Structure 1
Amino acid sequence: MAPRKASPPNFSQREFRASLSMFATGVTIVTARTTTGELLGLTANSFNSVSLQPPLVLWSLARTAGAMAVLTHASHYAINILAADQKILAERFSSRGADRWAGVTFTEGVGGAPVLTGAAATFECFNRSRYEEGDHVIFVGEVEHCTHRAGASPLLFHGARYYTEHPL
């Protein structure tokens, strides 16, 4: 019979993070509005597709994130996949204390979530479900509208550095 629990890790948290950094990801900014209409946005690279029918995507957020309460209760959010020329936005929306929205252009998306101008792709989502796992919450969004900018090169993140694509 298979064990019912995983064995304790035999590696450090530092080694785990270093190993995870070997997986290149795209970079997104998840946006929403508070119940009082304030803009919210944060950089996330934990985005993935889930299902084509119905159209579902997922992303995750640390339980301790300041935006957790807003995103848990928001009816909608947008996942903006950044283009290679949006590195400055990725850095700004991942830093503390900065006015993240200064000079940022966007349109109003489904449910009021900001859709960033110039994104490589955007998924406007109904906040369908959440799953608490470890120190993060996994958000599953049902995509109500999506767009993409044909020919846009995505912003990539690998080994704690930003990159863009190059065909092999």
Structure 2
Amino acid sequence: MTAEPLFDSTEFRQVCGHFPTGVTAVTAITAQGGVAALTVNSFTSVSLQPAKVLFCVTSSSSSFPTLVGSERIAIHILSRDQEDVARRFATSGLTGAEKLAGVSWLPGPDGVPLLPGTPAVLAGRRDEVITSGDHVIFLLDIDHVHLKPTNVPALSFYRGRFVSPSATATE
């Protein structure tokens, strides 16, 4: 039996918000052609050999059923000048196809949508899916990477808003 925490979820979220995170756009495709497009900031590398990454999504996300049914998923690391993509992909009430309708993309491995304007892309096959609390952890086996050299910093999220990486040092 675990003890009840001495804080509420709002305070917990504020505390976690003091850790700046990168912002990614996740796209996925099912065998039947269904697509997902969402913004995720809970992303990290897991292993170099074999190449694995993970991201987390709330189980109540409208993209969740498509992600669970997808074999192919791509993670796009967004640049500071791609806040519009992050906001569009974070819009609730739109389907993945509707979110992608406003963004330039190309079909990648097995048709997964790839955003050509992002500085870095990792794509792979869904490996493990682990439920923990109100979120689900997706592990991916990466088999495709693309790096586009750029001097534009990555888009970050800090204390509930999008920021450039240098902004976190002064706040």
TM-score by length of 2: 0.88
Residue 6 of structure 1, CA deviation: 4.4
The answer as to 2:42 corresponding to 1:46 is: yes
**In structure 2, what is the Cα distance between the partners aligned to 1:166 and 1:149?**
21
* Count of aligned residue pairs for this structure pair: 164
Bigger helix fraction: 2
1:101-120 CA deviation, whole Å, 9 max, x = no partner?
23311121122211112112
Inter-partner Cα distance in structure 2 for 1:7 and 1:121: 42
Match of 2:163 in 1: 163
- SS of equivalent residue, structure 1 residue 75: strand
The alignment status of 1:95 with 2:91, answered yes or no, reads yes
Mapping of residues 1-168 of structure 1, within 5 Å: 6-97=2-93, 99-151=98-150, 152-166=152-166
CA distance in 2, matches of 1:148, 1:43: 19
Give CA-to-partner distance per residue, 1:107-136, whole Å, 9 cap, x none.
211222111121121110110111110011
Question: In structure 2, how many angstroms separate the alpha carbons of the residues matched to 1:58 and 1:126?
Answer: 11
- In the alignment, the residues of structure 1 paired with residue 27 and residue 129 of structure 2 have an alpha-carbon distance, to the nearest angstrom, of 17
Contact 2:89 2:99 in 1 (8 A): yes
Deviates more, 1:34-43 or 1:107-116: 34-43
- 5+ residue gaps, structure 2: none
CA distance in structure 2 between the aligned counterparts of 1:149 and 1:54, rounded to whole angstroms: 22
Amino acid at match of 2:66: V
Contact conserved, 1:75 with 1:111, CA < 8 A, in 2?
no
Q: Say if 1:77 and 1:8 are closer, same or farther in 2 by CA, change over 3 A.
A: same
What is the SS of the residue equivalent to 1:137? Answer: strand
Q: Which runs of 4+ in 1 moved over 6 A?
A: none
Residues 26 and 157, structure 1, Cα contact 8 Å, conserved in 2: yes
Give percent identity, aligned residues only.
35
2:35, 2:130 → 1: CA distance?
24
Which amino acid is 2:87 matched to? E
Cα deviation for residue 34 of structure 1 reads 3.6
In structure 1, the gaps of 5 or more residues are none
Q: Secondary structure at the match of 2:99?
A: coil
